[in-house]
């Protein structure tokens, strides 16, 4: 309850300036009538106009969290609250940026792992093909060692020519 002797009365229009996120005057009336989380904004009616106090706004914000707002009684306090909110925003953005970077790096690592597996499989296939080619050469034909032409130069995966490499 507002103590008219000790508390500083302000109109609802003026009271909106004591919040870091300036609510509409109608929001203050809604908080006066219905409250937030069962807590109503303390007010009094004088000559048909509604008033609250700076102290009542502080009690209301402390009791409800008032959508994360804090009461700023002076311009200096408002500036400090604004700077604090800006620091919290920068900290949140930094964490968001780090999360995005970690997610990107995780995706890139996954792609590199798949690429590495793919290259290892291709290397195994190439070794097996070369072993078959040289086994056939040793088993049968004499002459020069076969020359293997990479798949990029032909339409087949491996092409073996009878000339090209000197005999070892």
Predicted confidence (pLDDT) per residue in 19-52, tens digit = 777 888 999 999 999 988 888 999 999 888 999 9
Domain boundaries, the chain: 9-73, 80-151
Region 153-160 average pLDDT: 48
Each residue's pLDDT tens digit, 3-14: 888 888 999 999
pLDDT at 67 (0 to 100):
47
> Bridge partners of 53?
9
| Statement: the pTM of the whole predicted model exceeds 0.75 | no
- Given pLDDT bands bounded at 50, 70 and 90, which one contains residue 18? confident
For the chain, the DSSP string reads ---TTTS-EEEHHHHGGGBSS---HHHHHHHHHT-BTTBPPP-EEETTEEEEEHHHHHHHHHHH-GGG--B--SHHHHHHHHHHHHHHHHHHHHHHHHHHHHHHHHHHHHHHHHHHHHHHHHHHHHHHHHHHHHHHHHHS--SSEEEEEPGGGSSSS-EEEEEEEPP-
Residue 89, pLDDT above cutoff 70:
yes
- Given pLDDT bands bounded at 50, 70 and 90, which one contains residue 58? confident
- Given pLDDT bands bounded at 50, 70 and 90, which one contains residue 140? low
Q: Which of 89, 70, 91 is nearest to 81 (CA)?
A: 70
Region 130-144 average pLDDT: 71
């Amino acid at each position: 309850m507002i103590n008219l002797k000790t508390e500083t009365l302000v109109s609802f229009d003026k009271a909106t300036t004591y919040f870091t996120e300036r609510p509409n005057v109608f929001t203050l009336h809604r908080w006066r009538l219905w409250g937030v989380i069962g807590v109503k904004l303390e007010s009094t009616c004088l000559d048909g106009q509604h008033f609250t106090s700076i102290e009542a706004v502080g009690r209301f914000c402390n009791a409800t969290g008032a959508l994360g707002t804090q009461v700023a009684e002076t311009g200096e306090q408002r500036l400090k609250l604004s700077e604090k909110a800006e620091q919290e925003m920068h900290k949140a953005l930094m964490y968001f940026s780090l999360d995005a970077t970690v997610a990107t790096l995780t995706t890139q690592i996954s792609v590199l792992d798949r690429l590495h597996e793919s290259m290892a499989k291709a290397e195994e296939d190439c070794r097996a093909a070369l072993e078959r080619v040289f086994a056939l050469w040793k088993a049968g034909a004499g002459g020069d060692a076969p020359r293997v032409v990479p798949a990029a130069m032909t339409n087949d995966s491996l092409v073996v020519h009878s000339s090209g490499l000197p005999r070892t």
